[in-house]
Homo-oligomer: A and B are copies of this chain.
Amino acid sequence: MGELFVLTEGIIRDLVGFGEAELKAVEAVYPLISDGSAVMPDIMRIDVEAHNGEIDVKSAFLPGYPGIAIKVSAGFFNNPKRGLPSLGGFMVVLDAETGIPTAALFDNGYLTDLRTGLAGAVAARHLARPDSSRLAVLGAGVQARFQVQALRLVLAIETVTVWARRRERAEALARDLSDQLGIEVRATDSVEAAAAGADVVVTTTPATDGFLKQNHLRPGQHLTTVGSDAELKRELGEGIFDLVDVVVVDSLRQSMRLGEARSAVAEGYDPEGLIELGTVVAGKHPGRTSPEQITLCDLTGTGAQDTAIAGLTVQRAREQSRGDVVIT
């Protein structure tokens, strides 16, 4: 019926990364979420308790975009015992006008990591103080690394502090990032020490205990939370939403179900205070209005980002004639 591009991780990493075009591609989706023109169904989840696994499916149709991504993320937590990574995934892109598959991107979750990192940069561009230079990252996994890389696209980051529950992981990431980026990156012993001197704080953990407390925050900070994307997860302790001056979420519906807004609202925060990132990106809400304000953006991760980053990947694969072509 047609030509289908099959792309594997190595090629995909060659095609897209931390560039301005990728950042713009991700940024552009938020106004479409907020003005209701994106068609974005609730996440499909398949719990595979027998194998300590979970599968999430996300998707979105964005008007004017040539493709629709169906994105599958897999987290199988017995994998490390077999020498395999816990997290994986892939995307398939359908032609938005015909529904015919045009590309299969076996990226092992790279595109999800990338678009999530870039979302952090979008949030910081619109909410952090423009002179922010000191970054704190809580968590030391792939997303901690990607947040740092992405934030450098929008802020002149000079120092990074890393905290993780396991000190040795924070130290390993600090060494890696320091070598890779040529900036000062150091591990710290406590959430408080990490956050205290930072202009931007990013949480990237699978925590369920709300480890970031009110007394960890300082006036003028911007906080992005990336970890919470499921009913039981939370990185923010009680009362953080009340302390924050501008509370932004990537998707109201998702954050209320799966993100930090879920627990905050359950504890009494008025959901009327929640602002969608797209309204700020579109200039319909001013975001931060003074250097003293504390701003927050809760990112749950959207199918719209997947459709955008997959679309850019396929466009470049076509332009560069990369990937296998299968006649379907």
Choose one: B6, B47, B57, B94; the contact of A70 (CB below 8 Å).
B57
Contact (Cβ within 8 A) B60 A59: no
Q: Are A44 and B41 in contact (CB under 8 A)?
A: yes
Does A101 contact B106, Cβ atoms closer than 8 Å? yes
* Interface-facing stretch out of A73-81, A196-204, A287-295: A73-81
B59 touches A59 (CB 8 A): no
The A interface, classified by DSSP as helix, strand, loop or mixed, is: strand
**Chain A contact residues (Cβ within 8 angstroms of B): what range?**
35 or more
Instruction: Please give the count of copies of this chain that the complex contains.
Output: 2
Q: Is the CB of A44 within 8 A of B42?
A: yes
Interface stretch among A48-56, A121-129, A248-256, A276-284? A48-56
> When chains A and B are docked, how far (Å) is the Cα of A258 from the Cα of B4?
32
CB pair B101–A84 under 8 Å, yes or no, is: no
Per the bound structure, the CA–CA distance linking A300 and B74 in Å amounts to 27
Tell me the bound Cα distance from A328 to B12 in angstroms: 11
Contact A90 B101 (CB under 8 A): yes
Tell whether A237 is near chain B: CB-to-CB under 8 Å: no
* Of listed A6, A84, A106, A326, residue having the most chain B CB within 10 A: A106
- Whether a CB of chain B sits under 8 angstroms from the CB of A61 is yes
Q: A6-B6, A90-B92, A108-B328 are in contact. Are A46 and B61 (CB under 8 A)?
A: yes
